[in-house]
Amino acid sequence: MEKYDVIIAGAGASGLIAASRAAELGAGVLLLEKMERPGRKLLITGKGRCNITNSASQAEYFKRIHPQSRFLKHAFSRFFSEDIIKFLNDCGVETTEERGGRVFPSGNQSAEVVKALIEKAKSHGANFLFGCRVNRLLTENNRITGVEILKNEQLQQVAGKSVILCTGGKSYPATGSEGDGYQLTEALGHAITEIRPALVPLVIKEKIDQRLHNLTLKNVNAVLWVNGKKQTEQFGEMFFTSYGLSGPVILTLSQYAVDEVKKGNEVKVSLDLKPALDEKKLDNRLLRDLNENGKKQMVNVFKKWLPSDLIPLFLRETGIEPSREASQVTNKERRKIKMLMKSLTFAVKGPRPFKEAIITAGGIPTTEIDSKTMESKLIRNLYFAGELIDLHGDTGGFNLQIAWSTGWLAGESAANSVKNEEIA
């Protein structure tokens, strides 16, 4: 039976950084990946550009990560956004900061990030084995002794002093994230907080006019309503789809919407298309434009206010004929236009499936993990990192930073544990 100091299951962001750190500290590392190549999900992040991290402060991170962000305090102190940027810069990957503190590789190619991580881990002596699935975690007296893997339809056991699970969640299953880690840990007595899609497009109850499909709206304020009460809001970009709503602000709202729909609550999203204008200023503008263009048809006046593809919806909702002259619009109709511009509302039916979710909410509860080491509180020398843990963040690089920080700490802790045992 082969023997290693540290066995890592999953060659995604957290697994690759864990392998690099553990091997750098002198541990004999084996990184297992069931796909035929590593970093499959990392390759598609940020639409293939890889939103590496976010330059926000730790205080801001704690506001943007859910449900127990303070669990990451020690992990962030060991390896934070500036550390992953320096790590990649040292590997030859230059980075660029964009709007909202989002950090990308200057070359806009996620492949160069994956390549750098692999080469760094290999340079420290980490071993890779692809096309193999971890079938079972081996333990003795509540202590990890290795893993059982399935390779070429053959089961074999690999001994390990420590094991780090970096198997991901259930989002984008085509990349290998099929929820394997949940079954592996449940078999050892760990609880699993109910998993559900997060940062996912929303399906709405209303039928979306075909002209709206893929229409992008920038600088809108989206508000999530639950049973008629405002729960949260986001400002930024969104777009319509054939089934509903998507885009950065919708994805961020979705993590709350999914849970509320599951509870059976009434969930709605309203869009303020003119957030720079309060209702009085907007009403004054509408009144001015209607007066100045009294002989023009309303279909043309609407072009002053809205993208062309949104006009049919407004005409339908207000009951205004396209050929109606602006001077004929009543005060009641003007108020209706104003209301729609400030609160264009859609009823949420539910989320799109896991295969369209950026990340997974739920997983191994943070109460069952030592925040100082990422070690299981139930099984000695078993560590966790990345999306498998019940932590998820908003869009903008926060989720990848969770992976980098927890992966680094887990790799460091596993390697140090082996060293300490050897000394003892």
Residue carrying structure tokens 């806009």: 108
Q: Please give the Cα distance from 92 to 167 (Å, whole number).
A: 27
Residue 395 dihedral angles phi and psi, to the nearest 5°:
-70, 160
Cα atoms in the 13 Å half-sphere on the side-chain side of 392: 30
Task: Enumerate residues 6+ apart whose C-beta is below 8 A from 243.
Answer: 201, 203, 204, 208, 352
Give the residue extent of every domain in the chain. 2-196+361-423, 201-351
Q: Please give the Cα distance from 221 to 203 (Å, whole number).
A: 19
Q: Please give the Cα distance from 168 to 387 (Å, whole number).
A: 5
Q: What is the mean pLDDT of the chain?
A: 95
> Beta strand pairing status for 344-351 and 202-204?
antiparallel
Length of the chain: 424
CA dihedral 21, 24, 30, 34 (to 10 degrees): 40
Sheet holding 53-54, edge to edge: 53-54, 102-105, 95-97
Written as tens digits, the pLDDT of the chain (424 aa) is 689 999 999 999 999 999 999 999 999 999 999 998 999 989 988 889 999 999 999 999 999 999 999 999 999 999 999 999 999 999 999 999 999 999 999 999 999 999 999 999 999 999 999 999 999 999 999 999 999 999 989 999 999 999 999 999 988 777 777 889 999 999 999 999 999 999 999 999 999 989 899 899 999 999 999 999 999 999 999 999 999 999 999 999 999 999 999 999 999 999 999 999 999 999 999 999 999 999 999 999 999 999 999 999 999 999 999 999 999 999 999 999 999 999 999 999 999 999 999 999 999 999 999 999 999 999 999 999 999 999 999 999 999 999 999 999 999 999 999 888 777 5
Q: Please give the Cα distance from 4 to 315 (Å, whole number).
A: 68
Task: Enumerate residues 6+ apart whose C-beta is below 8 A from 242.
Answer: 208, 210, 213
Q: Cβ(200)–Cβ(44) under 8 Å?
A: no
Write the single-letter amino acid at 107.
G
Q: What is 2-196+361-423's CATH superfamily?
A: FAD/NAD(P)-binding domain (3.50.50.60)
